Structure 1
Amino acid sequence: MNGTNEEIDRIQRRLAALREEVGKRIVGQSDVVEQLLVCLLCDGNALIESNPGLGKTTLVRTVAEATDLSFSRIQNTPDLMPADITGTEIIREVNGEREFVFERGPVFANLVLADEINRATPKTQAALLEAMQEKQVTTAGETRELPRPFFVLATQNPIDQEGTYPLPEAQTDRFLLKILVDYPARDEEREIVDRYTTGAPDPAVDRVLSRDGLQRAQQLTRQVPIADDVRDDVIDLVRATRTAEDVEFGASPRASMGLVLAAKARAFLDGRAHVSWEDVEAMAHPVLRHRIIVDFRAEREGVTPDDAVSNLL
């Protein structure tokens, strides 16, 4: 890895501190926190799915506070327009003369929380495509760079809820991970109730990782070595999704790249200098679950994409 042992140790300690800071406000959900931090290290986007009221917004806002990233939130509704996200030109009077000035939308932030993205219309969902993939937006014929680093962390309710628009495959493939947030355990829920019903202020979160530090961590993540046989097993796993019995549509080579990179990030986050197969197993479901579609027969029998990934593993 292109970095001194001292630098690598320092950044890995900062990442461990980041986990602790997030834990000040988020009770439990260790896998969810790990997957979100993996996404940041990979410079990727995440789709976070759960029922309402499980702390998704609090989680993302806390990560922004602890990492010195600018933060914006987009509440998606059926009447939200693309210009409401990217920005628009307005007429403003300057020195007695009127001129067009570009008013930047909420997408111009390091960390963009697109809340309930599947409540926006497909046209508005598509407005995020260029931003997610190219880190830029084009409005009024002009291309504008987005701040770096740039992440879209989108939340969605389960598709079977009323008033939602399923995300098209072209957009879901832009998300590195699909993170599922489940209900807390009983003891965790009791702690949540005790913590947030006493009138005490929210726990303060310290800024433990700078913007430059995060970008350096992203560079080091890509340099984590992976053995050839582990890399080849990842490729074989993704290729197997295209011929599996229960799968109608398998994952693309983007999934192979994403799984290797996510495994590297998990290893780096855990303070290790190499990728193990355990890292691949831990990241396979969040990387693949939104990229494969089970066939009608399997779906009728209750087989989910996660089941298909487990069988392949």
Structure 2
Amino acid sequence: MDSLVQLDPRPKKQRLRLPEFLRKPDTHFHSVQLLKNDLRGHNLHTVCESARCPNIHECFHRGAATFMILGNICTRGCTFCSVPKGSPEKQEMPIDPLEPENVARMAAQMGLRYVVITSVNRDDLADGGSHHFAETVRRVRAALPEATVEVLTPDFCGDLDAVARVLDAGPHVFNHNMETIARLYRRIRPQANYQQSLDVLGFARSYRADVLTKSGLMVGLGETEDEVNGLLRDLRGVHADVATIGQYLQPTRRNVEVSEHVTPDRYERWQAYGESIGFKKVFAGPFVRSSYMADLVNHSAREARPEAQV
């Protein structure tokens, strides 16, 4: 007797199709491969690769990349992020003591005038990796004294001494991403805390008033337009100078799904609203990411706030 195949009568949820304004036609495979080879030669990672950024071809082609230090394994389980997750200690992946110098050498080799340094979360380390982060900043500044250095840090579990340690190393821009609105934290950033992230930004601004402070968020995760406006107000409440807003795109099927593709007109409204309440620059658009075109965003913010050391 033939076996019967049971068909699931429930309709399968369809993934949202990308609208035309979210399609990037240009690819630069040669530029991407050349830069990847150089990075691997220095045993370095970029968030561009690990987070599957849609701008990687454009940025690598123009010789820009965001260095990701402290390894390639994150100790947190944020549902939007494709960076590998786990315990670096259990996987016997110690911090590379040569990494700060290798980042500096690679940045010099690329001839960068604007260097962005970020990291995975290292909640397994007593200092959250802040000493290593600070040393990387110092090495880059020594190798490229004329370059601008932006750091995109984790929250260091709210350890403000760790934040101060990174700031003491002399970055010109301090960036910490809120990522999403408070209501969605439990689903999107389950091991983070909305107020704690605001406190990190507020402390950075008060501790080093000459450093530009910046934060980024994703949209398309189920937030409302008014909730994004509320987050912008919260950021201005801690005197953040710059905000970036971009479309969340599901990097793998294991990550949280996209709720909607936000239309360009809403980015225009958020930008206008943010700058009306005091931001030096709000960079908003479908492909905007926290470090995307960071040099140009910084230049625009510097013109609006000339007293910053950028």
Structure that is richer in strand per residue: 1
Structure that is richer in helix per residue: 1
State the TM-score, normalizing by the size of structure 1.
0.29
State the TM-score, normalizing by the size of structure 2.
0.30
